[in-house]
Structure 1
Amino acid sequence: MKILTLNDNSQFTHLFFCEGCGCGHGFNTIPNRGVPTWSYNNDSESPTIQPSILVRSGNANGPTVCHSFVTAGRIQYLPDSTHPLAGQTVELTDMD
């Protein structure tokens, strides 16, 4: 399963593992929760999520950016991402 559905009260309703960042990225599909809403095809094996997902955070080396599209089970990292997979497209990995 490449998309994990969360059944708690967190701000995100779903989660996928990002190879570029080495951690999970969440997205919300329920409107009016006070956070952005994405569309999702509800296919946990070959997911498509729209629009793009932009994650800004930081670590000991400074600010980081992960910007991607998830389409048909593949994650396309956009060139403005600051990790080594920027500009590449890879298969999403399974969530454990």
Structure 2
Amino acid sequence: MPTLLRLLLPLCLAVILPATAVAQSNAQTAARQSAAGLGSMPVRGMEMQQVRRFFGEPAQRLHTVGDPPISRWQYDGMMVYFEDRRVIHSVATSEQPQ
């Protein structure tokens, strides 16, 4: 039995460790795709600083509400919703910021 365990342990680690690395890098991959022009709006998981870097300063920052804090940044043609400091949703709009 210990011999079987010694054979299976490296195999299990070889499967589990890459899966956790993939999960951790999803937000980074999404940010790179958006920056590469593959998306015209911020994607879920991007941090506020990444959104500012790729899309510039928002035309308007609306008041934060709720717990956890939800913030909205208005750009020309889109609204970006954040929970705490990460994007949870981006929506195309036809309204121009006031």
- TM band (smaller chain): under 0.3
Give the TM-score taking structure 2 as reference length. 0.27
**Structure showing greater Rg:** 2
Point out which structure has higher relative CO (alpha carbons under 8 A, 6+ apart).
1
TM (norm. structure 1) is: 0.27
